[in-house]
Structure 1
Amino acid sequence: MTGIALLTVPTADPGDTAPFEVLAESGYRPIDLVSVIGKTEGNGCVNDFSRGLAAAVWEPRIPESAVTVFSGGTEGVLSPHVNLFVRDEKHHPGFDRGLVAGARRSRPLEPAEIGRAAQVDTVADTVGKLLAELGVTPTDVRLVLVKCPLLTSATIAALHTAGQSPVATGTYASMGFSRAASALGIAVALGECDRQTALGALGGGAGVWSARASASAGAELDDCHILVVAESPTAANPLRAVHGHMTDALDLASVQQLLDRVAAEGGTVRQIFAKAEADPTGSVRGFRHTMLTDSDINATRHARAAVGGLLAALKGDGAVYVSGGAEHQGPPGGGSITVIYELPTPDRNAAL
């Protein structure tokens, strides 16, 4: 099994093609890309066209087997960037395992299926196929990223005309339902819950969640773009990953525990992938927040800025992947988090 390398490249705008130059300078070709995971500077909501622009730039230039996942919203100190997961053919001496990654597109989802059981099943099935292709088990998985569709005004109107009921009557609300269905599909595929429990959670149950799921929704696609990142003994590279969850937007301690594990191995943090959401209870640690009652700025934007500031301070720069809306992606009010890091090259002389 071929391992991967990870390049994180700042972007000047959603249509920036400079990362292709960095890719070439690093000894890789576009055909080596497994996935492009980016943060763009739109509002992260339904009408965030920065995601579509970035996808339009990248999609024609990557292999058919690769997928893009663009998450809008770089509020606060978050900085626009792309994370390039590339196949690494090299065998790195001294390493007996490493990170592997696989990507797939699901079948297109019908508008009536978005946010419902069919989406849970479709995501679970696609993730299952990726696990089989990679030759890994659910316990090997460190992160599953999904970009999923949402309902537009046109698709909602068409459903009503056809006598069908959409999962939500508002486009923004449909984003949350789609993220939730994708996250629950991941949980089913990883054995974190069974299908019946997942479908029950679609009705509002908050006790079912995955610390390895990261889902975002957009109007720029009608299928699900899925990336699975796992550790495997069939690869030999210095990349590793640890995952966990934040219990709330102020949960510095949980993040620090992951970073302490990285430091204990002498590793260097390469990227942090996290989900964030406004606590649905309306308070954080007993203090009222206004993220859910602000009529000017969407709650997901508040949450991204808050968690983004915390993680950027720990990483040392703003090129952190923080996605808003964490339905079933970590506990309510918190979020899943995965840290990808690089180990130093073993000192072979010291071993002698």
Structure 2
Amino acid sequence: MPVARVHRISADSPDDTAGLRQVIAAGQLDPAGITAIFGKTEGNGLVNDFSRGLAVRALTGLLEETLGYERAAQVCLVMSGGTEGGMAPHWTVFERQEGAAGASPALAIGKAHTPALAPEQLGRRAQVELVAEGVRAAMRDAAIDDPADVHFVQIKCPLLTAQRIAAADARGATVATRDTLKSMGLSRAASALGIGLALGEIDGSRITDAAIGSDWSLWSGRASTSAGIELMGHEIVVLGVSAAWSGPLAIDHAVMADGLDIEPVRAALARLGLDVPGQLPPSQRDRIVAVLAKAEASHDGRLRGHRHTMTDDSDISATRHARAFVAGSLGGLIGHAEIYVSGGAEHQGPDGGGPVAVIVSRAG
């Protein structure tokens, strides 16, 4: 019976694989079982964030050393740039092993890779449908039949560069935007709507090209998407619960209405057996395996009736402000800041808010 294991490993730099090598050498992690690695790297999280590519190169090198080229290529590497504020750079490594039947249902992990996306498809309905099919494939890989049992879907999606736009031009195709930075938001948006479509959260008839990145009434409460220069397909990881899996790990999720809205997260913790009125004490904090979240500055420039300047700052991108803000809010609840917070939450939770997933070790 499959058993999920999750390892959170600190990183001293975007190419620091020493901690991962150490747990492998100690026999605490079998590289053959690695399904996906989520990374928080200390770049700017924008188009020219080379920390993501550096991390992918370092991790790929380690995986190829231990698994060989073909098997290493099957691991989903989802790098999210930007560790603003107190957020700590780290890796979250998802491992699938076979074991004796234990507590069930339990955390289940599924993955899928989509074919490469044509540049002119980015940010359009074609990307939505490609992602939706990929999410369904990842659910099958996780043995999750009911979309209600999915608690978080993480996708690494592509973005446009000048070269990719030129390639579309040469074919006589028209891209959704010629602004490479805006292409990140459109790609995240279309990917998030694909998740919502696959999980039955969004009526597919409402997803039009015009709605992508503009109709904020359309959103998924379990979507997390991150755009990067390092790929043209999509790397999809589904996290949920399945009776086909057993083990010590459990997962739940919440949706923050805004960057201050930690009470739904506290409620999710309570459902997982961590019910405290304030910040988690060390005894309960140690049961937290991973916290995965999305962050977004509201488009109307308001936060609970007061003006914020995240979208008006010409020096620092709003996504960087939002990551630091939400990491601080969640860190105050969890008691540490080794949290995976990804910026840019287009259609990922309500405008200004975002989904949060918590993975914990069961009591006892």
Equivalent residue runs for 1:169-184 within 5 Å: 169-184=178-193
Report what 1:47 is aligned to: 48
Match of 2:223 in 1: 213
Distance (Å, rounded) in 2 between the aligned partners of 1:14 and 1:118:
33
Number of residue pairs the alignment of both structures matches: 344
- Match for residue 196 of structure 2? 187
Aligned residue for 1:102, secondary structure, equals strand
The separation in 2 between residues aligned to 1:85 and 1:264, in whole angstroms, is: 22
- Measure how far apart 1:230 and its partner are: 1.4
Instruction: Give the distance between the partners of 1:187 and 1:6, measured in 2 at CA.
Output: 25
1:25-44 superposed matches below 5 A? 25-44=26-45
| Alignment check: 8 A CA contact 1:271 1:339 kept | yes
CA-CA distance at 1:157 after TM superposition: 3.3
Q: CA deviation at 1:198?
A: 2.6
1:203/1:225 CA distance change after superposition, 3 Å? closer
Q: Note if contact 2:250-2:362 (Cα within 8 Å) is conserved in structure 1.
A: yes
Once the 2 structures are TM-superposed, how far is the Cα of residue 60 of structure 1 from its aligned partner? 4.2
CA contact (8 A) 1:179 1:325 kept: yes
Tell me the residue number matched to 1:107: 115
Indicate which of 73, 88, 95 corresponds to 1:79.
Answer: 88
Asked if the contact 1:150–1:174 (Cα under 8 Å) also holds between the matched residues in 2, the reply is yes
The 3-state SS of whatever aligns with 2:351 is coil
Shift of 1:91: 2.9
Structure 1 window deviating more from structure 2 (267-276 vs 227-236): it is 267-276
Q: 1:83 and 1:26 mapped to 2: Cα distance?
A: 17
| Equivalence for 1:250 | 260
Cα distance per residue 1:75-120 (max 9 Å; x no partner): 0000100000001323364x13211111121100011111111111
Of the three residues 258, 261, 273, the one matched with 2:271 is 261
Query: Which residue of 199, 205, 214 corresponds with 1:204?
Result: 214
By how many angstroms is 1:31 displaced? Answer: 1.5
Distance in 2, matches of 1:132 and 1:92, equals 20
Q: Which whole-Å CA distance do the structure 2 matches of 1:100 and 1:126 have between them?
A: 17
- Equivalent residue number for residue 293 of structure 2: 274
Conserved 8 A contact 1:211-1:335: yes
For the pair 1:8 / 2:18, whether they are aligned, the reply is: no
Q: Distance in 1 between matches of 2:25 and 2:133?
A: 34
Change (3 A) 1:304 1:264: closer
Q: Secondary structure at the match of 1:199?
A: coil
Give, in angstroms, the shift of residue 297 of structure 1: 0.2
In 1, Cα distance between the equivalents of 2:27 and 2:320? 34
CA contact (8 A) 1:3 1:101 kept: no
- Give the Cα–Cα distance (whole angstroms) in 1 for the partners of residues 180 and 166 of structure 2: 11
Would the aligned equivalents of 1:36 and 1:82 in 2 still touch at CA under 8 Å?
yes
8 Å Cα contact 1:262/1:269 also seen in 2: no
TM-score normalised by structure 2 residue count: 0.90
SS at match of 2:155: strand
Corresponding position of 2:66: none
Q: Give 1:57 deviation, angstroms.
A: 1.4
Equivalent position SS for 1:259: helix
Q: Is the 8 A contact 1:185 1:198 kept in 2?
A: no
Separation (CA, whole Å) in 2 of partners of 1:209 and 1:24: 42
**Equivalent position amino acid for 1:120 in 2:** V
* Secondary structure, aligned partner of 1:70: strand
- Deviates most, 289-298 or 134-143: 134-143
Alpha-carbon distance change, 150 to 203 in structure 1, aligned in 2, over 3 angstroms: closer
For 1:145, give the aligned amino acid. Answer: Q
Give matches, 1:146-161, under 5 Å: 146-161=155-170
Q: RMSD in angstroms over aligned alpha carbons?
A: 1.7
Whole-Å separation in 2 of the counterparts to 1:215 and 1:24? 32
Whichever residue aligns with residue 261 of structure 1, its letter is R
- Where do 5+ consecutive residues of structure 1 fail to align? 346-352
Structure 1, residues 34-61: CA drift from partner, whole Å, max 9, x if none? 0001100000000000000111112244
Aligned-partner Cα distance in 2 for 1:120–1:255 = 28
- Aligned amino acid, residue 244 of structure 2: T
What is the match of residue 349 of structure 1? none
Paired with 2:266 and 2:245, the residues of 1 have a C-alpha distance of 28
2:138 to 130, 134, 153: 130
